Every structure is written in C-alpha cells, then in structure tokens.
Amino acid sequence: MGRKPKNLVQHHVRRQKLKKILQAPKGMPDILSEDDFYRRKIFRTVENLADYYNFDRIETPILEESQVFLHGTGPTSEIVQKQMFNLRTPGGDHLSLRPEFTPNIIRAYLENGLFNLSKPIKLFTYGPLFRYEQPQRGRFRQFWQYDFEIIGDEDPIYDALIIQLFYNSFLDLKIKDLLIEVNTIGCDNCRPLWHKQLKSYFHSRLKKLCPDCQRRYKTNILRILDCKNENCQPLKENAPKMLDYLCRDCHNHFKTLLEYLEELGLPYAINHTLVRGLDYYTKTVFEIRETTDNLALCGGGRYDYLTEVLGGKHTPAVGAAAGIERLVDVLKKRQPKQDGNYKPKAFLVLIGDLAKKKGLSILEMFRKANIWIAESFGKDSVKSQLRQADRLGAPFALILGQKEAMDDTIILRDMKSGVQEVIALDKITEELKKRFKNGIV
C-alpha cells in the first residue's frame, strides 16, 4: 500500500479541480504585451532623463509601516481616510501597501543616512502603488507611477527643474498640447491666515457644499478646493486666493519660479484652486495637463516639512509623479503600435532537424552582433514561416535547410522582391549590417 499523505486537507485540495477559473483581484489587471510595449517605451524615456539630469535610482518596499503614510501623506488626506490597503501581521505589526512614493522615499532617506551625502539628493523610481478606490478607465487599485524627487535645497530653481523634467518626459514620448498649471499654497507662516479667510468664506455656503466638503470644512479646508464634485465648482470660483496672503519669502519663491518657467518658454497658467490632495505640500504645487482631452498627466510640488514630520531635521524638498496607465492610454490613442523601429531586421527560417540543431547558436550569433531577428522554431512548414516573417514586416528571411547547414551557408531572401542569394554563415551578420547601413532596405 502507498503511504498516506501527512496532510489530508492539502492532499484533497491538490486533487480537487476548481469549478471556475480564478480571476485577478478587482482593479488589479494583468499587464499583457500590447500595454507592455508602451510601458517599456515610457521606462526607457524615464531612465534616459534620469541619466541626463543625474538622478540616482532608489527601490523601496511596497509594504511600509502604516505610520509612514498616516503621518507623511496626512491623516486628513483622501488617501489615508479612504484608499489605504492596511493589514496586520501575525506579530502585530500594522503595515500598508504604499499608496504613493514620497513618504517612503523620505523614510528611506532618513533610515539610510542619505542626509549625510552632498545635497541636493536627486532620486527617481518607478513601480506599483495601491489605492482602494472604484476602478475605472486609467485608474486602478494597483497602478504604476514614475517619480522624481530633489531633497535638500529650497531654491525655486529645483521646482522649475522638476517641472521641466516631467514636461520633457512627455515631449520625448511625443505627447503634445501640454499646459502646466501651477499655484502656491504658502508656508506655515502665511497659510493660517488664508485658512481663516477660507473658513469664513465657506461658512455661509456650507449647506450648498457636497457631504464630503462639509466634512472637509471641519478637517482640512484646503480639500474643498480639491473637490471634483460639479455642484462645488461654482462655489470655489470666488474663494480667497493664497496669492493675496503670501509672506515675503513665499511671494519671492513663487515669483522666481514663474520667471524660470518663462525663461524656459514653458506654457503655464496659474490655477488658484490647485492644492493637490496631500497634506505635506508647501509653496509650489503643479500639474501638467494634456489639453486635447483635459487629462492630468502628472502632479507634484514642494514639501519642506515632511522630513520633520517623519522624525528628521528640517529638509526642504520638491518632487512629482506621473501615472503610467494614463500615459499608456494616451500613447495607444495617438501612437499605433506599428512602429518600424521595432521590426525585426530578419526572420530565421529553419528546415529540417539539422538546421534546427544549429538554430539556437545562429540566434545567439545575431544577438552578439546586436541584430534583432525573429523566429518561429515550432513551425516546420517553410510557407508558414515565411508568412510569419511577412506579418512581422521583416525585410529579409534567412533560410537554413539541410544543405546549408552542412555547407555552413545560409540563404538571404529579400522579402519584397523575392530575390535570394547564398551567403557564408560567418559573413551573414556583416552582410546585413552593410545593407542597412547603405540604405538598401
């Protein structure tokens, strides 16, 4: 008799067939090749810009102590109040899936002693984030962003650099019709007076505000300006503006930032109701919008008090993030995937067992020569392999049969004209390079 399994429950589960195919959690979609084509394009752009502007890559855990976001993002923010994925470990730790990058980057900055390095510290990252909200097109519960942060300097030139960097990232992705919306929300010295004026203004209009804004009136008055409810929009138009209450330092900071934007020739508009949805922002806040469909592509600002909130010394900083999924939607709409730069240079056609045995080594030969060739090793029919080459738009087919495999030659077929010629196998990479260099293709 066979031995009984030690765990009968595990044995039963292992043998029992599921009655339905399991699905991904709501709002956490799989990333398939169609979207990945555009995502890799975005990541290449981000890494090229990071190299040029001298930003170092940082990787932080997707799980953090909940306190990082409770204190960092802010207890009155929508993220903390409604959108955090929280869990408690068997050991009693309170952890949260990161809903944004900035607080856990600052936690890493403090924990790893990056404050001892020469300032400013310039960091970037990209990866998944998590927020519990109703999924919709371009907004998911698991989503990706890329993020740039400059830590350790209060000069508004770094606000301008962050804005310029994100603006350039969209231009490099060939996204046009962009507008920078910018505002200032002051500092701890001048903002209390603005808060007081906002309280007075909205007090007489309290009953007309949506239920969320009636709650925000008590918890954080600035969140009213961030409200997207249509009924609240007219009530915000004549609300007191921070520009009228700025202290000298904040006034000069904002004025200098606008001068930088004008010097750079960047299109901008002051949006007095722009405050961003996070509690840590000070002075500069901004968004960059794609005006054709009125889409916010990125957002950010200055956060001079966050390191103090998380236990460090006063350290001015500025940063921003852009959503990958929204950018993918924009690119898919405006830039169809059929891009000639991504066509294989040739297609390898193998006929017979001997040719197949040489197939992998030939593929490796082209990889080392930095020539992208495609293949369909599982297909035996010459006709089906050539059909696949035609579908991929490969300008050449490289045909290796029994005779060629024995003679160390290969047939180079022009897919457009059908003309074929025999080339020595050890000369084929140079022959292809020569034809592309001379513009024959």
Segment 192-218, tens digit of pLDDT: 999 999 999 999 898 899 998 988 888
Element (H or E) spanning 103, and its range? helix 102-111
- Asked whether the predicted pLDDT for residue 11 surpasses 60, the reply is no
Alpha-carbon distance of 239 to 244, in angstroms, equals 11
What pLDDT score was predicted for residue 13?
Answer: 54
**CB-CB contact of 345 with 371 (8 Å):** yes
Mean pLDDT of the chain: 90
* Cα–Cα nearest to 191, from 101, 251, 114: 251
Confidence of residue 77 (pLDDT cuts 50, 70, 90): confident
**Domains (ranges, CATH) in the chain?**
33-190+246-334 (3.30.930.10), 343-437 (3.40.50.800)
**Average pLDDT over every residue of 422-438:** 90
Alpha-carbon distance of 107 to 110, in angstroms, equals 5
What pLDDT score was predicted for residue 1?
Answer: 47
Say which range, 61-65, 276-280, 352-356, 379-383, has the weakest mean pLDDT: 276-280
Say which range, 46-55, 246-255, 382-391, has the weakest mean pLDDT: 382-391
**CB-CB contact of 420 with 410 (8 Å):** no
* Cα–Cα nearest to 242, from 216, 274, 279: 274
The proportion of the chain whose per-residue pLDDT surpasses 90, expressed as a percent, equals 66
Confidence of residue 440 (pLDDT cuts 50, 70, 90): low
Longest dimension (CA), the chain: 91
The DSSP secondary-structure symbol of 242 reads: G
Higher pLDDT: 440 or 428? It is 428
Residue-wise pLDDT for 160-175, tens only, equals 999 999 999 999 999 9
Confidence of residue 422 (pLDDT cuts 50, 70, 90): very high
Confidence of residue 246 (pLDDT cuts 50, 70, 90): very high
Q: How far apart are the first and last CA of the chain?
A: 70
